[in-house]
Amino acid sequence: MATHDATGFDQTLFFTVPHRDARGRVVRLGPVLDTVLGAHAYPASLRNLLAEALVLAALLGSLLKDDDGQLTLQAQNSEGVVDLLVCDYRAGELRGYVRHDRARLDELGPNPSLHALFGDGFLAVTFDLASSGQRYQGIVPLEGETLAQACESYFFQSEQVPTLIRVAVDCSGPNAVAAGLLLQHLPEGEEGRERLHARLDHPEWDHMAIMGGSVRRDELLDPALSLEQLIWRLFHEEQEVRADRGPPLVRGCRCTGDYYRQVLARFGTAERREMVDERGAIVVDCAFCSRTFDILFDDLT
Ligand SMILES: [Zn+2]
């Protein structure tokens, strides 16, 4: 097995507990989280929210069997203080942003609830499979206290897969850290697609959910505890636990000047002319990474 940074930062660990029909993922974000958050000047409440969403994107994205597939999480409510949160994952690349009304956010105080941020919003979970071009989307209301609970509802309602998700976030220090555990009951194993109807009276799953649910916040976040050690601590009494590393996580953004030229080319000439500044350029900034692009008007025709 290749050697890895023992802190687990920006790493994903895949694991299965075969005789319990369970599979799982653990992720821990370090420098990647700083990079994503560093592109935005968000207050603490939104840093925490985005960190949680990035952990969830990494956990759910790492379930894709398709190496070039994409997972997108979109939490939204057009009336919300946060009207749109987007995170996506593709082949270990993570990115995300939170569109919000700063004045209304400031009125909510330092620790707003999910409902205060989104109102009666919803979460859309979308899996795009690159190999077949197929897209699977499930939408659940943002009813729980956390985005993680909404993701659990997604698996339960859309896929009928009992799933436990725990996320821990600490963005208070100079270096932000966030981590999460996902554990699922798959009666047909990792490759199985045939789902049992959602039944939570499975003794195997009940046992796994208790073990997985016992993970503590400090264990998830502790860089002195490797991801392998963390799983071993939770499941060492099991007959067999198989674990393997997923692709390293990086901040990836796919914004390019060519991409924005294509987008702008769809506007009419008169509309484009209104966007041009005194230098003859249209300035576009990427919502994900905050990079700005000067697109020359003359290049668009
Ligand atoms: Zn970008």
39 CA from centroid of ligand 1 (Å): 10
Instruction: Tell how far CA 92 is from the center of its chain.
Output: 11
Looking at domain 7-251, its CATH class is alpha beta
Burial 207-242 (b: 16+ CB within 10 A, else e): ebbebbeebeeebbbbeebbbbebbeebbeebeebe
Ligand 1 center to 254 CA (angstroms): 6
Ligand 1 centre and the CA of 250: distance in Å?
13
Structure tokens of 254?
A: 């796919």
Give the model's pLDDT for residue 67.
85
Residue 195's pLDDT is 47
CA–centroid distance, 295 to ligand 1, in Å, is 15
Would you list the domain boundaries of the chain?
A: 7-251, 257-300
The candidate with the shortest Cα–Cα distance to 160, out of 141, 139, 186, is 186
Centre of ligand 1 to C-alpha 285, Å, is: 8
The distance of Cα 5 from the centroid of its chain, to the nearest Å, equals 22
- Residue 224 Cα to ligand 1 midpoint, Å, equals 33
Q: Which of 131, 153, 233, 23 is nearest to 12 (CA)?
A: 23
Question: How do the pLDDT tens digits run along the chain, 301 residues long?
Answer: 445 678 999 999 999 999 999 999 999 999 999 999 999 999 999 999 999 999 999 999 999 988 889 999 999 999 999 999 999 999 999 999 999 999 999 999 989 999 999 999 999 999 999 888 999 999 999 999 999 999 999 999 988 899 999 999 999 989 999 999 999 998 665 554 444 444 445 778 999 999 999 999 999 999 999 999 999 999 999 999 999 999 999 999 989 999 999 999 899 989 999 999 999 899 999 999 999 999 998 888 6
- Gap between the Cα atoms of 227 and 231, Å rounded: 6
Q: How far is the CA of 292 from the centre of ligand 1 (A)?
A: 8
Q: What is the pLDDT of residue 188?
A: 63
> Strand 93-100 vs strand 250-251: parallel, antiparallel, or unpaired?
parallel
The beta strand positions in the chain, using DSSP E, are 11-17, 22-29, 70-76, 82-90, 93-100, 122-128, 135-141, 163-170, 177-185, 242-245, 250-251, 281-285, 292-296
Q: How far is the CA of 286 from the centre of ligand 1 (A)?
A: 5
The pLDDT of residue 16 is 95
User: Which pLDDT does position 201 carry in this prediction?
Assistant: 56
Ligand 1 centroid to residue 112 C-alpha, Å:
28
Could you tell me the distance, in angstroms and rounded to a whole number, from the CA of residue 243 to the centre of ligand 1? 33
- Ligand 1 mean position, distance from CA 245 (Å): 27
Cα–Cα distance measured from residue 24 to residue 16, given in angstroms and rounded to the nearest whole number: 6
| Ligand 1: centre distance to CA 93 (Å) | 12
Cα 148 to Cα 151: distance, rounded to the nearest angstrom: 5
* Residue 148 vs residues 20, 72, 140, 261, 291: alpha-carbon distances, Å: 23, 14, 12, 37, 29
* Residue 191 pLDDT: 52
Gap between the Cα atoms of 251 and 243, Å rounded: 24
| Centre of ligand 1 from the C-alpha of residue 152, in Å | 29
Expressed in angstroms and rounded, the spacing between residue 284 Cα and the centre of ligand 1 is: 10
Distance of alpha carbon 10 from alpha carbon 175, whole angstroms: 13
Ligand 1 centroid to residue 124 C-alpha, Å: 21
The number of residues in the chain equals 301
Chain CA centroid to CA 15, Å: 19
